[in-house]
Amino acid sequence: MPRAQSLKIVLATLFVVLCWAYSPTGIHIALQGYEPGHLALARFIVASVFMAFVALWRGISLPLLKDLPLLMLLGFFAVFAHHVAINFGQRGISAGASSVLAQSTPLFSLLIGCFVLRQKASAWHWGCLVLGMLGAAMVVAGDHGPGALNAHGLLVLLAALSWSIYFTLQKLHGHRYDGLTMVCYTIWAGTALLLVYLPGLAGAVKAAPLQADLAVLMLGVFPSALAYLGWAFVLSHTQVSRATMALYLIPPCAMLIAALLLGEQPSLMVIVAAVVVLISVLALNIPSRRRIQRPEQLHQ
């Protein structure tokens, strides 16, 4: 691969990691002026408008009528359920802890693959799953000090589960459209579902402080739009298994961003739990000929 092309891939990967690492901090800032439902809708109105310009520039095909239920389902899990749950969750959990719990997506993908798709998993996979769930439980229990069980962390885990369902559906049916087309219709479908939160949004926008409005704009443009385009570019030029390794940088980057912008200092228990979760997810992706199905294949 030419050096210039390799540099583009590295820079695009770094851009995606930073965008998604900013998301928990951006949500925390935006929640200072918005209710969780209003925040989700405002964020994806921005993302939808941005992706509309991209779609007009690049040109995308119209969806088939028979695919509309699938696109609405993708929008529900990827946008509506995921972001509403994570916004409500982050009202009571730190940005750093939220970023760690969000990385539990591959663990849920493994469960979906085994119990829904009837895919086989080895003892190694189940060991990684138990270890990862133990780490997630440590995050939920330790974000506000040892033993302080916080139900908001369970909502972030629910968001991770929703994201896993979206990845599974995308893997099964994503071949119907190219990546850009699928992302556009998923975002637009999810935004349409979020219109249930439209009442009161205009007043919330007027009453919100400037920093909350800027956070919504940042969330809509970067983590919700540009990061997906950047990730599509990375995946089209390198192996999925190699590219996904970079995503394990998101929690430490998210903790650093939260420390710089919010002054958060994660507890020792959360740091240890983060290491446990990342080790378990990383171990799931260790290749082995004896393993029938590698976890990264479960959530492409």
Lowest-pLDDT range of 77-81, 135-139, 185-189: 135-139
What pLDDT does 253 receive? 93
* Number of folded domains that form the chain: 1
Given a cut of 60, is residue 288 above it in pLDDT?
no
What pLDDT does 25 receive? 97
| C-alpha distances in Å from residue 261, one per residue of 25, 53, 212, 297 | 8, 31, 13, 35
Q: What is the DSSP letter of 104?
A: T
Lowest-pLDDT range of 94-98, 146-150, 204-208: 146-150
Give the model confidence (pLDDT) of 170-181 as tens digits. Answer: 888 878 888 889
- What's the whole-number mean pLDDT along residues 233-260? 82
pLDDT band (50, 70, 90) for residue 148: low
Give the model confidence (pLDDT) of 239-250 as tens digits. Answer: 666 677 788 889
Whether 229 contacts 19, CB under 8 Å: no
Residues of the chain with pLDDT > 90, as a percent, come to 52
- What's the whole-number mean pLDDT along residues 282-300? 50
The more confidently predicted of residues 288 and 66 is 66
The more confidently predicted of residues 142 and 196 is 196
pLDDT band (50, 70, 90) for residue 297: very low
CA 289 to chain centre: 29
What pLDDT does 149 receive? 58
pLDDT band (50, 70, 90) for residue 85: very high
Degrees (nearest 5) of the Cα angle 6, 50, 298?
Answer: 55
Lowest-pLDDT range of 217-221, 255-259, 277-281: 277-281
Given a cut of 60, is residue 287 above it in pLDDT?
no
- What's the whole-number mean pLDDT along residues 59-72? 93
What pLDDT does 137 receive? 86
pLDDT band (50, 70, 90) for residue 204: very high
Give the model confidence (pLDDT) of 9-55 as tens digits. Answer: 889 999 999 999 999 999 999 999 999 999 999 999 999 999 999 99
Torsion of CA 16, 280, 238, 164, to 10 degrees: -70
What is the DSSP annotation of 247-292?
Answer: GGGHHHHHHHHHHHHH-----HHHHHHHHHHHHHHHHHT---TT-S
